[in-house]
Amino acid sequence: MTSLSVPMIKRPVHPVGAWGWITTIDHKKIGIMYGITAFINFLIGGIEAIIMRAQLSGSNADIVSPEVFNQLFTMHGTTMIFLAVMPLGAAFFNYLIPLQIGARDVAFPRLNAFSYWVFLAGTLMLHLSWFMGEAPNAGWFAYAPLTSTAFNPGHGVDFWIVSLQVLGIASLAAAFNFIVTIINMRAPGMHMMRLPLFTWMTLITAILLVLAFPVITVALLELLFDRNYGMNFFFTAAGGDPVLWQHLFWVFGHPEVYILILPAMGIVSEILPTFSKKPLFGYSTVILAGVIIAFMGWLVWSHHMFTVGLGPIPNTVFTITTIAIAVPTGIKIFNWIFTIWKGSVEFRTPMLFAVGFIVTFTIGGISGVMHAMSASDAQQQDTYFVVAHFHYVLFGGAIMGIFGALYYWFPKYSGKMYNEGQGKTHFWLMFIGQNLTFFPMHFLGMDGMPRRIYTYGADMGWTEVNALQTAGSIVIVLSVLVFMKNFIQSWRSGKQAPGDPWDARTLEWSISSPPPEYNFEEIPIVQDRDDWWARKRGLVPRIAPSGASGDGHGIHMPQPSFWPLVAAIGIFVGAWGVIYSVPVLIIGAGIMIFGVYAWSFEPVNDPESEASTASGDAN
C-alpha cells in the first residue's frame, strides 16, 4: 500500500511541540484548538460589538462612518454565528463525544483534523477582509439585491460568500464525522437511549447541519455566479426575485438557529443533573423535545419574512408552526427545573451558568413567541425588539451554556481546577451585564428604533436607553476579562484536578483528568444511563471487559498526519483565487488535490513505521 503513498516527507510518528499540534489527529487536541480559535473569534466579534455600542451610545455620534458601521454589524453577526458559537460547540463535540460514548477517537480522525484546518482557513479569510479594506457590508443575511455588483461593488460580499463556503466545508466534514462516530462507535451497552444528553443534542445538531448547509451552499453559489459571471438569479432587471434569496437563506437560517442552541441545551442537561445529584428528569422526553424542535425548525423559516408581503395565508401557517415550536421548548425548561426539584443542589460556577441559562433563555423564548404573532410582529420586525430577542437566545442561551461548559469540563480538559470565586464573579457580572445590555432593547424596539441604523436623532427619545445599554456592554467586557484571567491562571498553575471532581454521572468522568491519549484503557461495558454514577454507587455489577485491553488487541491509535493541513491550505489558497485570480484558484485546487490524494493512500496506521514495529502483540 505504501508504494502508492507520497514518500516526499516522512510521516510524523511521535511529533512533539508545535509540530505535534499541527499534525495531530487526536480529537482532544483538535477540540482544544477549536476552542481557542473560536474564543479568539468571540473576542474579535465582541470588539466589533463594543465599537457599535460606542457609536450608538449617544444621538448623532460620529465614532465610525456609516460604511464602517455596516461592516461592523455584518462582521459581528457572521463572526459570532459561524466563527464563535458554532465552533465553540464543535470544540466540545470534539473533546467530549468520544469520551462520553466510550470511544478512543472519532470515526475519521484525519477528517476531523481537516475540519479544524478548513475552519481556520475560513476564519482567516473572513477576518482578512478587514485588512483588504473590503469587509462585507450587507448584513449576515445579505439580502439580495443589495449584494449585487450594482449596489455593492468591490470584493466585500465575495469575501463573505467564499468564507462561508469554506466554513461550510469544515462544518459538513465535522458533522459527517460526528454522525458516524455517535452511531457507530458507542461502547458495548451504550445503546441510543443511554447516550448522554449532550451527545444526543450533538447528533441532532450534526443531522441539521448536514441537511441545512447544502441549502446555503447553493444560495451562495448562485450569488457568486451572479456577481462574478453575470448570471441572473437575483438580478431584478432580468426578472430575478429577491424573495427567493430570503427563502433560501432562511430555510438554512432557521435550522441554523437550532444548530447554535441545541448544543447549549445539551450542556445544561449535563450540568443540572450533576450538581443536583439527580438524573435528568424525563430523559426521553427531553430528547424527544430536541428531535421535535429540530424537525419543526424546518417548518418555520418564513417567520423571518412576515413583512415581505407573502400574504395572510402563509403568515397564518407560519404563525401556527412557530407557536407550536414553543411547546417542546417549554417542555425542556420544565424538565430542567424538575431535575433540580428535590435534588441536592450545589451552586458551583457551572451550575450558576446553567440556572442563568434557564432564566435568560426563558425570556428569549417568550419574546420569540411574541414575534410569532405575525399581526403584531409587523411592528417589531426589523426593530431592536428582534435584536433583544435573539441576543437573549444566543448570548443568554448559547453563550451562557458554552461558558457553563467551559467551567464544567475545565478540570477534564486542562487537568486543573479553576478559581471558584472568580468564576462566580464572572457569572454575576455577565448575567447583570447582558440583562443591562439586551433587556432595554425590547423597549427601544417598541419605541420604533429600527435595526442596523448607524445613528439616530436626539429628537427620537432613544438616547438614554442606548447609553444604558452601552454601559451594560462594558460590564460584559469586564466579566469576560475576569474569565480570561481565571482561565489562563488556572490552566497554568491551578490545583491538580482529580478524575471526577464533581461526583458526576457520565463516562468522561471515569477517566483521569486530562485523559490519556487513548482515553480508555479498557473500553467500558455500559449498563446504565448514568453508568459512571451507577458504577460508583455500586448500583450495577462490575463486568470485566472482554479482553485485557480494548477488543482483545493492543490499543491502536491512529498516527498523526499532515495531509489534512495540506488539503486545507489548498482550500485557503483556492478561496483567495475565487476572489482575486483564476491561476491562484488552480494552484489552490492543485494543492488540495495533492493533499487529498496523498491522504487517501496513506494508511490510518503505517505498518512500516516504527510505531507499529514497537508493538508487542501485533496480530
Residues 491-530 touching other proteins, rule: CB under 8 A, are 499-500, 510-512, 516-518, 521
Residue 478: CB minimum distance to other proteins, A: 25
C-alpha angle 36-39-42 in degrees, rounded to nearest 5: 160
Instruction: Dig out the grid coordinates for 405 from the structure.
Output: 461548559
Place of cell 417549554: 330
Cα separation, 328 vs 286, whole angstroms: 8
- CA atoms in the 13 A half-sphere facing the CB of 198: 31
| Amino acid symbol at 305 | M
Total interface residues for other proteins by CB under 8 A:
154
Instruction: Dig out the grid coordinates for 272 from the structure.
Output: 443540572
Under the binding rule (CB under 8 A), the answer on residue 551 touching other proteins is: yes
Under the binding rule (CB under 8 A), the answer on residue 59 touching other proteins is: no
Dihedral sign from CA coordinates of 258, 263, 264, 266: positive
Q: Which is nearer to other proteins, 42 or 440 (CB)?
A: 440
Under the binding rule (CB under 8 A), the answer on residue 545 touching other proteins is: no
Pick the stretch among 20-28, 258-266, 326-334, 428-436 that binds other proteins (CB under 8 A): 326-334
Under the binding rule (CB under 8 A), the answer on residue 212 touching other proteins is: yes
Stated as kind and residue range, the H or E segment containing 248 is helix 242-276
Under the binding rule (CB under 8 A), the answer on residue 337 touching other proteins is: yes
Instruction: Dig out the grid coordinates for 540 from the structure.
Output: 450495577
Pick the stretch among 313-321, 405-413, 423-431, 482-490 that binds other proteins (CB under 8 A): 313-321
- Name the nearest CA neighbour of 452 among 40, 7, 75, 13: 75
Pick the stretch among 27-35, 257-265, 453-461, 473-481 that binds other proteins (CB under 8 A): 453-461
Does the bond joining 145 to the residue before it have cis omega, within 30 degrees of 0?
yes
Under the binding rule (CB under 8 A), the answer on residue 557 touching other proteins is: yes
Select the residue interacting with other proteins from 9, 36, 193, 618 (CB under 8 A). Answer: 618
Cα separation, 475 vs 84, whole angstroms: 20
Packing angle, helices 400-408 and 86-101, rounded to 10: 40
Residue 514: CB minimum distance to other proteins, A: 10
Select the residue interacting with other proteins from 376, 420, 546, 586 (CB under 8 A). Answer: 376
Cα separation, 491 vs 410, whole angstroms: 9
Q: Which is nearer to other proteins, 369 or 478 (CB)?
A: 369
Under the binding rule (CB under 8 A), the answer on residue 285 touching other proteins is: yes
Under the binding rule (CB under 8 A), the answer on residue 338 touching other proteins is: yes
| Amino acid symbol at 259 | I
Q: Which is nearer to other proteins, 202 or 276 (CB)?
A: 276
Cα separation, 268 vs 594, whole angstroms: 43
Instruction: Dig out the grid coordinates for 105 from the structure.
Output: 477517537
Under the binding rule (CB under 8 A), the answer on residue 589 touching other proteins is: no
Select the residue interacting with other proteins from 344, 492, 538, 542 (CB under 8 A). Answer: 344
Select the residue interacting with other proteins from 230, 421, 547, 590 (CB under 8 A). Answer: 230
Q: Which of residues 394-433 bind other proteins (CB under 8 A)?
A: none
Pick the stretch among 29-37, 195-203, 408-416, 599-607 that binds other proteins (CB under 8 A): 599-607
Burial class for 373, CB neighbours closer than 10 Å (0-12, 13-18, 19+): middle
| Amino acid symbol at 430 | M
Q: Which of residues 138-167 bind other proteins (CB under 8 A)?
A: 138-139, 143, 145-146, 151
Select the residue interacting with other proteins from 383, 425, 435, 561 (CB under 8 A). Answer: 383
Q: Are 254 and 304 spatial neighbours (Cβ–Cβ below 8 Å)?
A: yes
Q: What 8-state DSSP symbol labels residue 333?
A: H
Instruction: Dig out the grid coordinates for 171 from the structure.
Output: 462544518
Under the binding rule (CB under 8 A), the answer on residue 611 touching other proteins is: yes
Select the residue interacting with other proteins from 24, 79, 163, 335 (CB under 8 A). Answer: 335
Under the binding rule (CB under 8 A), the answer on residue 468 touching other proteins is: no
Quick one: CA torsion of 534, 537, 538, 543, rounded to 10 degrees? 40
Select the residue interacting with other proteins from 410, 454, 483, 563 (CB under 8 A). Answer: 454
Select the residue interacting with other proteins from 161, 215, 399, 569 (CB under 8 A). Answer: 215
Under the binding rule (CB under 8 A), the answer on residue 377 touching other proteins is: yes
- CA atoms in the 13 A half-sphere facing the CB of 211: 15
Residue 535: CB minimum distance to other proteins, A: 10
Pick the stretch among 34-42, 119-127, 432-440, 448-456 that binds other proteins (CB under 8 A): 448-456
